[in-house]
Amino acid sequence: MWGGRFAVRPDDLMQAINVSIGFDRRLAEQDLAGSHAHAAMLRKQGVITSEDEAAIQSGLNAIAGEIQDGTFPFREEFEDIHMNVEARLRELIGPAAGRLHTARSRNDQVAVDFRLWVREACDRTLAQLLRLQVALLDRAEQHAATLMPGFTHLQPAQPVTFGHHLMAYLEMFGRDAGRFADARTRMNECPLGAAALAGSPFPIDREATATALGFDRPTANSLDSVSDRDFALEALAAATLCGIHLSRLAEELVIWTTPQFGFVRLSDAFSTGSSIMPQKRNPDAAELVRAKVGRLMGSFTQLTIVMKGLPLAYSKDMQEDKVPTFEAFDALELSLAAMTGMILDLEPAVDRMAAAAGAGFSTATDLADWLVRTLDMPFREAHHVTGAAVKRAEALGVDLPGLPLAEFQALCQGITPAVFEVLTPAASAGSRQSYGGAAPDQVRLQVARWRERLA
């Protein structure tokens, strides 16, 4: 490839550190697409003849067939996917293959290939997020009124519903989808035609190649075109946040499937056993999803460190952009599929959750609110009275609904039997009618909003 300048082949160690075909072969489809568009543009602009373009297009189609059926000869001697394709094209069609590289460089070639791959990864992720959101939405609608404890500090706080809890994750994954869509919009500019770093003296039509490859427009600065990897960093940042949300949900599934909680059960399809303890049912799928976020965070960090000190324009350091990005999206796509499967698979233990919803004096806030509404008591005073009631109930070994009226009235004479109407978990959850609250009617309202949005 650079034999006119160099007389000696690279040292074996140089070859080992320099070669990238082992991983950038994943860009073959994108590389062929870019070459098809570039060849068509060169012919239209009169840079190459119709005969040469026809030969090039035919050869590229033949290479695509070889790659598809697994017969393409990926060779380390040609270093990367671009030169492997070009070398094979020369073998198939002869000297006309050398005209394909007119008005382009591997710098803009890899930039467009990688951008196409990341764009497609974002599209796949958005489709997977939609499937996960629909699964959560269906479950939330089924369990809009299914009581469960809400937690803060992993301690019982206030009763909510299982549907409301699942809708919280729907919001998170909705933000993730928005980030991927936003990143995709920003990355949808075509660097092809920037050549090595300064553009091309040939009469190329960058608008034509951008359109042919589905981009909104060509990139506006040739230096930035070949040196930018923001699109990959943004996608990895979105993937990391999505992974964090998946990990939080996975952690809750791990907790909920323990005998101590027993809120949900995963079937054999999403559980594993033990090699020594016959009784075990391990939520390994959830645990592995929880762990994958480390790979996502690591990939984002790795690429930020690669890019942070690079001068313009292209540096070979940027060859290290692909492996972390490929690995991150492999992990994310598997995690999204596994989480969707678990959401569809799990069976809530409705009675167990309902019983737990009232534990830990979870309706104490409802008592305080009742004192404010009914007796016009300042909230801080109501908080104090409620705290004293909890302390007394704890001493008697009962929950708040089990505390005798006389005990309540010893703390505040104005308390009437009506107070017991607000101290059940169902009444507590049902009272949270503020927008976005835990009341079943509010959950159903949010389900309807999301159904319209996802449609």
Question: Annotated active-site positions, please?
Answer: 153, 274
Residues 179 and 424: their CA atoms lie apart, in Å, by 40
Q: What are phi and psi of 151, to 5 degrees?
A: -120, 150
Peptide bond before residue 313 is cis, with ω within 30 degrees of 0: yes
Q: Are 87 and 79 in contact (CB under 8 A)?
A: no
Continuous segment of H or E residues that includes residue 130 = helix 106-142
Residues 248 and 245: their CA atoms lie apart, in Å, by 5
Contacts of 37 (CB under 8 A, 6+ apart): 192, 208, 209, 212, 213
DSSP symbol at 9: P
DSSP symbol at 311: P
Residues 443 and 165: their CA atoms lie apart, in Å, by 9
Q: Distances in Å between the alpha carbon of 277 and those of 62, 266, 273?
A: 55, 18, 8
In terms of DSSP bridges, do strands 189-190 and 155-161 run parallel, antiparallel, or are they unpaired?
Answer: unpaired
Contacts of 232 (CB under 8 A, 6+ apart): 114, 118, 303, 321, 325
Residues 354 and 147: their CA atoms lie apart, in Å, by 5
SS3 state at 75 = coil
DSSP symbol at 176: H
Burial (CB < 10 A; 0-12, 13-18, 19+), residue 25, is middle
DSSP symbol at 11: P
Q: Distances in Å between the alpha carbon of 263 and those of 135, 146, 266, 354?
A: 18, 11, 10, 9
Return the structure tokens found at 182.
């936003």
